[in-house]
Structure 1
């Protein structure tokens, strides 16, 4: 679980960028989907707003519905209670900076608090956002962002190249190039499957 959860925050190993030795066949280059450019035409460089009102989902489906409220809390609390293990081959590591980060992701939250909030947003909005904050090129903090404040900014190939975070009329654009986070994309965007949207997930509350 730990590996899949943190995979987007891991920088690629140096070997992945090494040039092939003389006479060695060059591996096939990964190609983007040819349909991605069509997706990008409709929103490249511009923040793409979610077609749903997160505020209404949160108020009507969570805050004012005791059954949905309890269901979301049970799922979120159960997910947050699962112990996270860090493995190096067959050996479990008891001490590691990554374990320290997950145990205390930021000064205002414990690890269980962060996971509960992340899962809660995913259940209510169908989307959840985790921000990595780096100091001196090393990720030191993790923060959960409210979905109603985050917008996807598609790039030329259709994939998100940045995220806009808006609060009180002020917008901060967070680029995914990892220039300030040692090559690691600073935003992890989790979504539920949505058959009709290329960027945003479908919230379970919408189907209720």
Structure 2
């Protein structure tokens, strides 16, 4: 069977011409936050606890779910570790973050598939034919470039491409990071703001006012000396609460928090909820403030499985089954919900 080419087999022996495909433009994001995938992963998965927990809840749930397989060998192949990684969990994380997952099918000398390995999606580029249909994949690791054919010499799938839906691109799926980038940037900025506030004795900075009766001002040398003494003796969390001895007409004028500053905590909580929403995780399961009760928690956990984990697992298992059918003609994989 021809998977990629100008023509494909149709039911009842009818042949039709495949319509051309094209690469759509990337979705632009307005705002001062990272645009590249690597930078967004660092900000979200590596530095943001809400995004990290949301991805791990869904991917680990999909990777640890019990499976029903048509063949024990098929189940062992899908559930085995490759390169120290659990296949389904890794593929689920790639789909959530990048929107694309690429699984290389490795065969022995006899042509039997022996291993499934998940490729890093940001390193893979689709190589289309003249009509835009994928015929190969380019894998880049630093200066090393490898070309992986989509099919082997026998017409069997060599690289399985599983992707999320994208309304603007025929080749690449759309991950959750695009929608969550703004909320992640706000949440990280709020964390940095709170850290700076704690470093300044958990209160906003004030003004050191020099008042004399004759209207004199500090000289440049006096100003620099006073600035150095303030930074050395009173700045930072280690100097929080330290008393200040003022002389020579100096007066400390404290500044109070504005209503906007007081609402900063609420802004951070709203950003955390938007991050959880982008990854399909109920905010209650993230430990965010809300109606946290045992009954509500149980329903939220069921909603997580019904609305996020099971659909994602079905997409992954369906793509793997389609790729493995040349070796397992009756291939069937599903999550054992009982």
In the alignment, what sits opposite 1:32? 18
Determine the C-alpha separation between the residues in 2 that align with 1:49 and 1:162.
21
2:84 corresponds in structure 1 to 108
Q: Is the contact between residue 79 and residue 87 of structure 2 (CA under 8 Å) also seen in structure 1?
A: no
CA distance in structure 2 between the partners assigned to 1:49 and 1:174 by the alignment: 24
Secondary structure at 1:61 match in 2: helix
State the distance in 2 between where 1:50 and 1:81 align.
33
Identify unmatched segments of 5+ residues in structure 2.
3-11, 28-34, 181-338
SS of residue in 1 equivalent to 2:17: coil
Shift of 1:156: 2.4
CA shift at 1:53, angstroms? 2.2
- Shift in Å at residue 107 of structure 1? 5.8
Say if 2:94 and 2:100, in contact at 8 Å, map to a contact too.
yes
Pairwise mapping of residues 45-56 of structure 1 onto structure 2 (< 5 A)? 53-56=36-39
Q: In 2, distance between residues paired with 1:176 and 1:194? A: 21
The two structures have a TM-score, normalised by structure 1, of 0.70
**Relative contact order: is structure 1 or structure 2 higher (C-alpha 8 Å, sep ≥ 6)?**
1
* Structure with greater proportional helix content: 2
Count of paired positions? 163
Work out whether 1:199 is the aligned partner of 2:171.
yes
Deviation at 1:49, TM superposition (A): 11
Task: Normalising by structure 2, report the TM-score.
Answer: 0.44
Distance 2:145 2:25 in 1: 13
Where does residue 94 of structure 2 map in the other structure? 121
Query: Secondary structure of 1:133's match?
Result: strand
Q: Deviations over 1:19-54 (max 9, x none)?
A: xxxxxxx72114312xx1x63xx8xxxxx9978622
Q: Following TM superposition, where does structure 1 have runs of at least 4 consecutive aligned residues deviating by more than 6 angstroms?
A: 48-52
| Bigger Rg, structure 1 or 2 | 2
1:165/1:70 CA distance change after superposition, 3 Å: same
Q: After superposition, where does 1:5-84 map in structure 2 within 5 Å?
A: 27-33=13-19, 36=20, 39=22, 53-84=36-67
